[in-house]
Structure 1
Amino acid sequence: MADFLPSRSVLSVCFPGCVLTSGEAEQQRKSKEIDKCLSREKTYVKRLVKILLLGAGESGKSTFLKQMRIIHGQDFDQRAREEFRPTIYSNVIKGMRVLVDAREKLHIPWGDDSNQLSGDKMMAFDTRSPMAAQGMVETQVFLQYLPAIRALWADSGIQNAYDRRREFQLLLGRKERRLPGARH
């Protein structure tokens, strides 16, 4: 009668879950879990869009990526915000320097003549210092220039220069753009 019973290997093909040892069953469960994971990853990779951003330096590639991140709901965490702070400070100082310089080159008078001192202070900022050259300004340095920045921004001469920004390049990325013949 035993000759009529199918062998274990035949049973395992016909009824795979019935004749497995507990170790084999666990291995089969893990294998199926891995297969599901691979299937999900394959679907994810198929839906993933990869782009190659080409462009000259300072053409806005990083800015584009940052904007896409914000648009798609992946806001910046506190650590990322803290990392951007020195760059923002640098851009504000450099932008104000360009406005002070443009006001002079465009022969726009100061709204308040006392702002000449604030303008001179901004133009004296050392853009060649190691941190500033990398587009980074520390908080304590920025705070030294903040009163001058506020006074200048409130000046009608600087506002007039800003309104005429189409006549010069105010700021593109981290690098300062100047009018031809501008003082350094």
Structure 2
Amino acid sequence: MQSNNLSSAQFALYAPQVKRLWKYPAIKQAFDRRREYQLSDSVSYFLDNIDRISKPEFIPETKDILHCRKATKGVIEFNIYIENIPFLFVDVGGQRTQRQKWTKCFDQAVNSIIFLVSTSEFDQVLAEDRKTNRLEESKNIFDTIVNNKTFEGISIILFLNKIDLLAIKVRDTTTNIKWYYPEFTGNPHSILDVQNFILRMFHDVRNNTKTVIYHHFTSAVDTTNIENVFKSVKDSILHRNLSALMLQ
């Protein structure tokens, strides 16, 4: 395994020290405050599994790969077969510096737009300006897409992602969605209340209530959840396209 300039042997050498550091209460407390700075949620997963991943014979498992994080830059296309039906996915970067590249995607026919929201980021700010709420930024971007006349007739599929991490934050007493959204009237420690609030928040930006928004609560590291969601997405896309063809 080679990671940047760190060899497998070097990684194995430092792993025990990293493991000891991770056990320090002060380090744990700093990690619990990660919303105050730009630290990936997946850090804890890899530190918890450092004994396994530092072994020379280590081969990444599916869960290891799913916990990796890399920001999308530019426009990336890839083909996926879902139950023998081909789908072309176009992945675009969500960072502010990447958004001007989105227009390239719409030179070709677009059947559906899948919009991902990190639900657990209600108490975090953007890396770009350190003050804008991440969930609020996602809502504003969604607003520009769902109300854009270019996308009239295109199915909008809303993935409310990271519900596993959201559930952890909802149980946490060091953060509270009411601090960031005073209009929230539910139980801040009820995952259903918080999920429904976030869902309504995104649905409410529609100017045209006839615009259909399909939504799914997802966890990208839960393969069963994602498999079922994509089967549902496939059905909704095919059904919508078939209905459009019958109207022609």
Q: Which has the larger radius of gyration?
A: 1
Greater helix fraction, Structure 1 or Structure 2: 1
TM-score (norm 2): 0.24
TM-score (norm 1): 0.29
